[in-house]
Amino acid sequence: MPRRGLPGLYVSKTASGSAKLAIHERGSRLDHRPPSIKVDKPWGRFEQYTHNLPCTVKIITVAPGGTLSRQYHHHRDELWVVLDKGAQVQLGEEVLEPETGEKVFIPRGTVHRLSTPGEKEVRILEISFGEFDEEDIVRLDDVYGRVPQ
């Protein structure tokens, strides 16, 4: 059964299978993930995830019923920020349904998958830390036939 989102919870499952949970607080750390900083401004606020770090930032849009390959990476960690309700995240054997605004940290070597079982597309902000190369995707399972034989 999928776990429902918990506000401000970072979740990771390492390649060794041990679960790690940490409540996000200003300046907290989980493994080697840089802390995020929340800054209030007169017009509102911003949350800064990186500062002068080599990283790649993407917004991933998953079509209704779509699913990414079950995969892991050797050379990068990923931080996903859920932008739309309806995402389903698999970390190892655990399945999560994070709420909008929740963050999921995925250390290198961690098997993961993103899917959208519902009828609406879902967007995820992905920040990759480390060497980014699309060739660093090790696919274990893929509904589109992209797993090397």
> Three-class SS string for the chain?
CCEECCCCEEEEECCCCCEEEEECCCCCCECCECCCEEEEECCEEEEECCCCCCEEEEEEEECCCCECCEEEECCEEEEEEECCCCCEEEECCEEEECCCCCEEEECCCCCEEEECCCCCCEEEEEEEEECCCHHHEEEEECCCCCCCC
Whether 20 shows a pLDDT value over 90: the answer reads: no
What pLDDT, in 10s, does the model give residues 52-103? 778 889 999 999 999 999 999 999 999 999 999 999 999 988 999 999 999 9
**Residue 115 domain-assigned?**
yes
Domain total in the chain: 1
Does a structural domain hold residue 123?
Answer: yes
Q: Rounded to two decimals, what is the model's pTM?
A: 0.71
The neighbour count for residue 119, using CB atoms within 10 Å, is: 8
Domain span holding position 110: 3-25+55-141
The total of other beta-carbon atoms located within 10 Å of residue 108's CB is 20
Q: Quick count: other Cβ atoms within 10 Å of Cβ 113?
A: 18
In a domain? residue 37: no
Return the higher-pLDDT residue of 10 and 140.
140
What's the CATH number where 18 sits?
Answer: 2.60.120.10
Is 70 within a domain?
A: yes
What the block records as the tokens of 131 is 């060497």
Question: Does some domain include residue 116?
Answer: yes
13 confidence band (pLDDT: 50, 70, 90): very low
